Amino acid sequence: MDCPKCVVLFSGKRKSGKDFVAERVFNRLGAEHAVIIRLSAPIKSHWAEKEGLSLAELMGTSEYKETYRKNMIKWGEEKRLEDPGYFCQAAIKMTNANLKPVWIISDARRMTDLEWFQSHYGNSLLTVRIRADIDVRKKRGWIFTQGVDDAETECGLDSVNSWNVIIDNNHSEDYLEEKIDEILNWVKNKLSS
Ligand SMILES: Nc1ncnc2c1ncn2[C@@H]1O[C@H](COP(=O)(O)OP(=O)(O)OP(=O)(O)O)[C@@H](O)[C@H]1O
């Protein structure tokens, strides 16, 4: 199979609804055609393997991961400096994405993520920025956290103004469905070309 036929990449701030929208698109396409790739997943599994730590604890919400957070970030930065596509490739491998024609990247956070997908799948890439008003994000559980919300993982893509699609995900169902249809139409075009 000539894989992937197309890639839909989502970016957005915490609690903007990246995962929510990515899952809607995935559900409409079905597991037969699409796969969700989470770029954040391999960092924890690589780190757990490397350091002999509990992956379940690192993935969970416990304090356990806080002990290793700084070291994980440092190690992640070093890996990215050596190879900016390291975690993109690891996430693709981890999800066996090569078996599916449509890749949905649910969490692009850094310029290196965007650039890597642009350089490898530029002609078949749709970039989507999810936005939500601050009060909406707060209702979804977002609380400003220093060292997280002012870090590169949250702000690294703020200056990009070339998104193919922008979705203001503030709870208007009809509008959201229209935007999802726009994405699905693009995917269907790619699949049939
Ligand atoms: N349009 C929507 N309608 C109803 N609920 C929504 C909508 N968008 C997001 N949510 C809800 O808001 C919460 C946050 O959404 P989600 O987890 O998708 O955000 P995220 O951008 O992936 O956040 P994070 O970066 O923190 O993982 C979830 O509980 C989700 O179900």
Per-residue pLDDT of the chain (193 residues), as tens digits, is 457 999 999 999 999 999 999 999 999 999 999 999 999 888 888 788 888 888 888 766 667 777 777 788 888 888 889 999 999 999 999 999 999 999 999 999 999 999 999 999 999 999 999 999 999 999 999 999 888 899 888 999 999 999 999 999 998 999 999 999 999 999 999 999 8
65 burial (CB, 10 Å; 0-12 / 13-18 / 19+) is middle
* C-alpha of residue 2 to centroid of ligand 1, in Å: 32
Pocket test residue of 9, 10, 15 for ligand 1, highest count of atoms within 8 A of CB: 15
Q: List residues bridging with 37 in a β-sheet.
A: 105
In sequence order, the 6+-apart residues with CB closer than 8 A to the CB of 1 are: 98, 99, 101
Joined together, the tokens standing for residue 35 give 């796969």
Element (H, E) at 6: strand 6-12
Establish whether 174 is an annotated binding residue. no
* C-alpha of residue 18 to centroid of ligand 1, in Å: 6
Element (H, E) at 92: helix 86-94
CA-to-CA distance for 191 and 69, rounded, in angstroms?
A: 40
* 3-state SS string for 124-188: HEEEEEEECCHHHHHHCCCCCCCCCCCCHHHHCCCCCCCCCEEEECCCCHHHHHHHHHHHHHHHH
Q: Is 17 in the pocket of ligand 1 (CB under 6 A)?
A: yes
* C-alpha of residue 10 to centroid of ligand 1, in Å: 13
Q: Is 18 in the pocket of ligand 1 (CB under 6 A)?
A: yes
CA-to-CA distance for 55 and 18, rounded, in angstroms?
A: 24
Joined together, the tokens standing for residue 85 give 């596509």
Establish whether 13 is an annotated binding residue. yes
Which ipTM was obtained for this model? 0.98
Q: Model's pTM, two decimal places? A: 0.92
Closest Cα to atom 4 of ligand 1: 171
Q: Is 169 in the pocket of ligand 1 (CB under 6 A)?
A: yes
* C-alpha of residue 109 to centroid of ligand 1, in Å: 16
